[in-house]
Amino acid sequence: MNKDINMIYERIQKAKEKAGRKDKISFAAVSKTRTVEEMKEAEKISWVDFFGENRVQEAESKRKIYGTSKISWRLIGHLQANKARKAVELFDYIDSVDSSDLALRLNRIAGETGKVIPVLIEVNTSGEASKSGISPENFNSLVDIVVKQENLRLDGLMTVGPITEDEREIRSAFANLRTLSENAREKTGLTLPVLSMGMSGDFESAILEGSTLIRIGTLLFGPRNYTEKNFMI
Ligand SMILES: *Cc1c(COP(=O)(O)O)cnc(C)c1O
């Protein structure tokens, strides 16, 4: 865990000031590869609102030993069809809906279990092939499908910023997500309050472009170690 967690809080406040914002920006502690002990530490921080996990299996092992969690768990990684049922069981929010097939499947499973699942649509704003998410071109048709699903509640959009040092390029990807969200709001009449964008390396840019939910792993917990931890991604 970062010894100077106040620094994180202060950087968020500074970015909010620079953006002239007073609204709440939620904080997801991205706990992939972290142990349950590390997560318990993070849960104690008053401004941590969620855990973000990107693997269903890893979340399942951790949920088993975690006990009652005071904060909700969000799935922020790509969801494979065959893990959808498990994901519905484990997560309070599914932020990575990126195809109509997945939306239909989640809706069906939610219906069977008597749930309404809050979801985000993940958009690939960078065009990078390694990234999941629906393309901006196909976004509108996915919105049409998601909003028709009785057992899904569309809360907003999510994206992962481009891998670049170029601040303008990063800002532009985040601005594109905001524009898509505004258009979808107009089209559907929904409030779509959540704009999930910004990670350890780019959360300040994301806040300047209107992010309402930042997802921070490395800055909070330290560098990820994929080989030695109990929970691999
Ligand atoms: C890992 C991950 C994060 C956190 O990344 P950091 O750079 O460690 O803050 C945020 N969002 C998603 C979707 C991730 O997979």
pLDDT at 232 over 60: no
The string of pLDDT tens digits covering residues 74-93 is 999 999 999 999 999 999 99
Ligand 1 atom 13 nearest Cα: 76
Output the CA 144–ligand 1 centroid distance in Å: 28
Query: What is the per-residue DSSP string for 115-178?
Result: --EEEEEEB--S--TT--SB-HHHHHHHHHHHHH-TTEEEEEEE----S-S-HHHHHHHHHHHH
Give the mean model confidence (pLDDT) for residues 5-14: 97
Instruction: Find the 102 Cα to ligand 1 centroid distance in Å.
Output: 22
Tokens 């958009």 correspond to what residue?
123
pTM over 0.85, yes/no: yes
Q: Residues enclosing ligand 1, CB less than 6 A?
A: 30, 32, 54, 76-77, 160, 199-201, 215-219
Could you read off the pLDDT of 187-213 as tens digits, one per residue?
999 999 999 999 999 999 999 999 999
| Cα maximum dimension of the chain | 48
* pLDDT number for residue 124: 98
Angle, helices 136-148/100-112, rounded to nearest 10 degrees: 20
State in Å: Cα 30 to ligand 1 middle. 6
Q: Which atom of ligand 1 is nearest to the CA of 218?
A: 8
Which single residue is written with the structure tokens 């976004």?
139
- Res 176 pLDDT > 90: yes
Mean pLDDT of 111-117: 96
